[in-house]
Each structure stands twice: as C-alpha cells, then as structure tokens.
Amino acid sequence: MVDYSKWDHLEVSSDEDSSRIRQPRVRRLEDKQKVTIGPSGLSIGDDEPPGSAAPSGEPPKVEEISDEEDNVDEFDEDMACACEGNSQADDDYEDAHEWPRCGFLPPAPPQVRKRPQLSGEDRHQPNSQEGNALSSSQTKRRDDEILLIQNGGVVQGRYLWSQTKHEVNIDIRLPPEARGKDVKVAIKENSCTCTYKGQVVLKGDFCHKVEDDEDMWLWELVERKINWKRLAHLAEAYNYQSSEKREKRGRSEKGQKDRKEESLERLDDEGGSGISDRLASAKVPDNPSGQIEANMVVEAQGKKKNEDSSYTLLDITMMKTDEKKEPGMTGSGEQKTDEEKEEKEKEEEKTMFLEINLRKKPEVANTFVWWNCIVKGDPCIDVENLPGRVGREQTTKNFKEAWEQAHKMFLEKIKSEVEELIEV
C-alpha cells in the first residue's frame, strides 16, 4: 500500500511579493556539531564519538531550522547576545546583514597618465605617436566617406548615395534639429516620397525597381559632419567619373604592363627558364584609391656562375601614386596653415541625415543592375568604370585566361602520352 496521507498537508502557495528582500539567517556551529540532511529536513546536532550513545528514553539533542520569517527577530536577538564580547563574531554578523543593501561596486576610475612636461628643445620636437594617430584618424575618416559614395555619387546640398550589387543607400540632408516624429517615408516599387514636417525632401521615380515590402527596406536618422565639396571630388576620383581620371588610369595600367613585360624580358636574357610562362598570367590587382603595391618575389633559375650560386632572387616592386592629392589629404612633409584649417571647418557641415536602405528588385532572376542615379531627372554617373563593376570584370577576365591556360596544358599533356592499343 502507498501512503498518500502526506499529500493531505501539502502547502501550495505563491509568493507575490518577490521584490521583498529576505533577511539572511546566520548560525555559528561549534566544534562538535554537525549538519544532517534527512527525510525530516535539515538538522544540527552534536557530533558524538562512537560508543557514547545517548541515554535511553532521551531523544538526541537536535535543533530544527525553519525558513519561516516569524522567528527572524528572535534569531537576531539570540545572535546579538551570543556575539557580545566577540568582536570577530560581531563583524561577521554585521557583514551578513549588510550584503542585501549593497549593490555592485562602481568600476574604478581609469588611470590617466600625465604627460611629462617638456622643456627646452624637447618641447619643439615632433611627436611621432601624435603624427601616427592623426594619420590613422584621417585614413579612417576617408574610409567612412568612401562608404557613403561608393559606386554612387553626390547631389550637392541635397543627398548622397552609394550602392552594391543588391542594395542602394541614400543619405538625405535634413535640418540639424530634425526628429523622427516629423519624418514620413513612403516607398513604392517605382517611386518614393520623403517629407519633413510636410515639406518634400526627396520625391520622384526610381531609375529601376526596388522591393516595396516593408521588411525589405528601412530608414533612420543619423547625424553626420561632412564637407559637400570634398565628397564630390572624392566621388569623382574614387568612382573614376572624370575623363581625366579614366585616361590616367588607362595610362597607368599600360605603363604597368610595359614595365612587367620589360622585367620578364630581362629575366629571359639572364637565362631564366619558364619565367615568362609563369608570370604571363600574373595580374596586378587594381586599387581604385590611387595606389598599387604589388610585390612579387620570383625564384629564377639562372646561369651557374659558380658552384655556390645556382639561382637568383628578383624582387619586382611596382608602385603607382596619384599625382594629385585628394582634397583634405596631406602628404609627407606637408603642413596645413591655420587659414586652410579655418576654411575647411567653415565648409564642413554638421546636420541630420535621413538614411534609407533599399533592396534592388532584379528584372531577371540571378541578375543585378547598376544604377546611374536615384530618381529620374537628377545628375547621373557613368556605370562603366565603377570600382565594383571593374573588379568583377577583372576577376572574370583572370578566370577566363586561367581556364584557357589550363586547357592548353591539358592538350599538351594528351599529346605527350603514348597511345595504347586496346583489343576489341
């Protein structure tokens, strides 16, 4: 038989006051006491040595500990009496009651290292660390600006935009005090309407279709500090929009090719075996930022001049730098005057922008289209020389040449194999 009588006294309750802090209960055990956990609960008793059993008829001296809060006051009084005259016990008791009122300790303040005071000639010496930090901040700022106009352009004073193969990002200028509650954006498949306090900031028909589902586009307000003139020059330089940049790029690529062929011919004259074949397919990656660095170390098998030298090492380094620096960028040894800095600060504008991210809708499956403008009627860009598109064309061209070379090697290998007759 199963005894279910214990279930009759089952107490079912819910503690609704969960925020109430419960006072901890502290009990100090003596040397000969032990804690026992059994079917009847938690108990504390004396640890008696074996052989010294308790007198018959007298139950062991055990004290039951309950979680009821009614006995907290009595327990506190007992602990206070027990701790009188014992400073260590008194401290432990106070510490145990102190922790519910203590939160997380605040983090220690950062230690600021004081800059040593320089005197005499040391005060006028340039600090290389400050120069490196300044150059790194300028590089980071330029990278952030490139992201705003990458494969896109600038409409002076209105908005700037960028694009990838599948997305379009638009940053529309708003007043510095603009708030999100005053902005309304309506995106359709072929058009958009953006207003601020009832005034239209961008409206028109897209040059191509976008995904009009609300889950496929989003907008937010961001604060930016930009220079419209600088961004316009940067967009033309980075996206190869000006005819001068395109011609210069063509000349630089042709010059790199001529220098490469000249180096290969020099290697062949020195007695290199198979150097031209191995380097003919080597392509220098195009860097739209205006600087190309390609270091190729070639182990060329040369003529043996003596027994110790059986080969030579050739280090080919090609560098290309723009003759014209980007606006706002300084070269080595150049320093801006105070007037230039003040003029630059006047041209910079810190205001709010409405940033919209759109998803392009492909006309044909597994295809993508490069946009030449955002809305019809606005200034257009030349999509033939965009960095994203040129890089893909170069990759396709390299893959095609590698495939043709592999196919040629396969045919030569087949010709060199001996034909075997198979009896049928």
Give me the pLDDT at residue 370, please.
Answer: 92
Overall fold of domain 138-256+347-385: Immunoglobulin-like (2.60.40)
CB 389 within 8 A of CB 209: no
Secondary structure of residue 155 in the 3-state scheme: strand
Give me the pLDDT at residue 259, please.
Answer: 61
Average pLDDT, the chain: 70
Partner residues linked to 274 by β-bridges: none
CB 282 within 8 A of CB 312: no
Query: What's the Cα-to-Cα distance from 365 to each of 66, 308, 360, 361, 368, rounded to whole Å?
Result: 72, 62, 12, 9, 8
pTM score, two decimals?
0.44
CA dihedral 223→224→225→227, nearest 10 degrees, is -140
Provide CB contacts within 8 A for 37, sequence distance 6+: 43
Rounded Cα distance between 403 and 416, Å, is 20
Give me the pLDDT at residue 260, please.
Answer: 56
64: nearest Cα among 97, 13, 25: 25
CB 44 within 8 A of CB 36: yes
Per-residue pLDDT of the chain (424 residues; tens, 9 = 90+): 778 887 777 766 665 555 666 777 787 888 888 888 888 887 887 765 555 444 555 554 444 455 544 555 555 555 555 555 555 555 555 555 444 444 444 555 555 555 555 555 444 455 555 566 657 777 888 888 889 999 999 999 999 999 999 999 999 999 999 999 999 999 999 999 999 999 999 999 999 999 989 888 999 999 999 899 889 888 888 887 655 555 555 555 556 556 656 655 555 555 544 444 544 444 444 444 433 333 333 333 333 333 343 333 333 333 334 444 444 444 444 455 666 666 666 678 899 999 999 999 988 888 889 999 999 999 999 888 888 776 666 666 777 888 888 988 888 888 888 777 888 7
The residues spanned by each domain of the chain are 138-256+347-385, 388-423
Q: pLDDT (tens digit, 9 = 90+) per residue, 167-218?
A: 999 999 999 999 999 999 999 999 999 999 999 999 999 999 999 898 889 9
Rounded Cα distance between 77 and 79, Å, is 5
Residue that has been written with the tokens 């030298």 in this structure: 309
301: nearest Cα among 314, 290, 310, 288: 310
Secondary structure of residue 41 in the 3-state scheme: strand
Tokens of 95: 């510490």
Query: Percentage of residues in the chain with pLDDT exceeding 70?
Result: 50
Give me the pLDDT at residue 289, please.
Answer: 40
Rounded Cα distance between 189 and 191, Å, is 6
> If you write DSSP's letter for every residue of 196-225 in order, what string do you get?
ETTEEEEEEEBSS-B--SGGG-EEEEEEEE
Rounded Cα distance between 81 and 95, Å, is 17
| CA max distance for the chain | 115
Give me the pLDDT at residue 253, please.
Answer: 57
CB 207 within 8 A of CB 373: yes
